[in-house]
Amino acid sequence: MLEAADKAWLSRLLGPGARFDEPMSRHTSFKIGGPADAFLQPQSEAELKAIIKWTRKKKIPYILIGGGTNVLVRDGGIRGLVIHTGHMATAITWGQDQQRIRVSAGAGVATRRLCAQALKRGWQGMNFALGIPGTLGGAILMNAGTAHGCMADVIETVKIMTSTGKQILLQRRTLAYRYRLLQMPSGTGDDSYPAVITACELTLTNGDREQIRGQARQWMRGRSRRQPAWQPSAGCFFKNPSPDQPAGRLIDEAGLKGMRVGGAQVSARHANFIVNRGGASAADVLNLSTRVREAVHSRFGIELAPEVYVVGEE
């Protein structure tokens, strides 16, 4: 799909930030995925805009990744571009208005870094996201969350770049948040040319630093007891069908912990994690996930839907 002149253009624009035939296994927490025709790391909104305008003209599709922590790339890799926003806009700034803290951050900021900043300064409202990997851009798009809250609770504005390179500021009241999804306004992009989240503003509150830190320690302990953080995975593989029917419990009760296909395994610690035991292919993960869905469906009559984005070619 990419010709020599296309590669030359991208290299001129991004220097070492443009790589070709790049294995996506290097850029996903699953450590799985075939090669992307081009893997691009813009450092600024100007570079992003130049790429977006160029791909439209060339009719070359792109997908976006932030931290690569909630994605499964199929073994055939990705035809077209992967735009990695994790190196763009990584500043965090803030202002205070009485008890309210208004935080501005770029989409490339690691969610973990913002949580650490909140803990250090005694800001209340981010503890729900402790331990969520990846970047704010990804967390906002998938409305990342836990039992204690989700991004929609704290987001005030989201800045996006549309698929035509226009910048738009979306206000909280206009955001269409769903369970694990921020629906982009119509006309801002589509599956082949999605809108890009570039920055956000969050509202947190001033709290009692010791109390927030105590809560953080307790939640993190619970999380590391329950989740296989030491093994490559994309976190929870399926969405919870409902709050009182968590996917992990359904898979566990169906007796599937430890089930294996090739290098992929249903974690023995948390049944909603599919882990890469070493050398797993995307096909292994997908075959295993199909078996899990079938077993849960036949046992409980419940259809599980993946939370992880599955992209690329077979």
Interface stretch with ligand EPU, choices 116-124, 158-166, 198-206, 233-241 (CB under 6 A): 233-241
Binding ligand EPU (rule: CB under 6 A), the pick from 138, 207, 235, 312 is: 235
**153 is an interface residue for ligand EPU by CB under 6 A:** no
Interface stretch with ligand EPU, choices 51-59, 103-111, 208-216, 235-243 (CB under 6 A): 235-243
Q: Which two three-digit tokens encode residue 162?
A: 């549309």
Cβ 186 to ligand EPU shortest distance, Å: 27
Tell me, letter by letter, the H, E, C secondary structure of the chain. Answer: CCCHHHHHHHHHHHHHHEEEEEEHHHCCCCCCCCEEEEEECCCCHHHHHHHHHHHHHHCCCEEEECCCCCEEECCCEEEEEEEECCCCCCCEEEEEECCEEEEEEECCCEHHHHHHHHHHHCEECCHHHCCCCCEHHHHHHCCCEECCEEHHHCEEEEEEECCCCCEEEEEHHHCEEECCEEECCCCCCCCCCCCEEEEEEEEEEECCHHHHHHHHHHHHHHHHHHCCCCCCEEEECECCCECCECHHHHHHHCCCCCCEECCEEECCCCCCEEEECCCCCHHHHHHHHHHHHHHHHHHHCCCCCECCEEECEC
Backbone region of residue 266 per phi and psi (left: phi > 0; alpha: psi in -120 to 50; beta: other values): beta
Has 236 been annotated as catalytic? yes
Rounded-to-10 torsion of CA 104, 115, 277, 288: -60
**59 is an interface residue for ligand EPU by CB under 6 A:** no
Catalytic residue among 236, 291, 293, 314: 236
Binding ligand EPU (rule: CB under 6 A), the pick from 116, 252, 283, 310 is: 252
Interface stretch with ligand EPU, choices 48-56, 83-91, 204-212, 239-247 (CB under 6 A): 239-247
Binding ligand EPU (rule: CB under 6 A), the pick from 226, 242, 245, 279 is: 226
**213 is an interface residue for ligand EPU by CB under 6 A:** no
Has 180 been annotated as catalytic? yes
Binding ligand EPU (rule: CB under 6 A), the pick from 11, 146, 164, 206 is: 146
Q: Cβ contacts of residue 196 below 8 Å, gap of 6+?
A: 48, 52, 64, 83, 85, 107, 137, 160, 161, 189
**147 is an interface residue for ligand EPU by CB under 6 A:** yes
Query: How many amino acids of this chain bind ligand EPU (CB under 6 A)?
Result: 16
Binding ligand EPU (rule: CB under 6 A), the pick from 246, 263, 306, 312 is: 246
Interface stretch with ligand EPU, choices 13-21, 88-96, 107-115, 240-248 (CB under 6 A): 240-248
Of 253-292, binders to ligand EPU (CB under 6 A) are 270-272
In the complex with ligand EPU, the residue whose CB is nearer, 113 or 239, is: 239
Cβ 238 to ligand EPU shortest distance, Å: 7
**306 is an interface residue for ligand EPU by CB under 6 A:** no
Catalytic residues: 180, 236, 307
Interface residues toward ligand EPU, by CB under 6 A:
146-147, 223, 226, 235-236, 239-240, 246, 248-249, 252, 270-272, 307
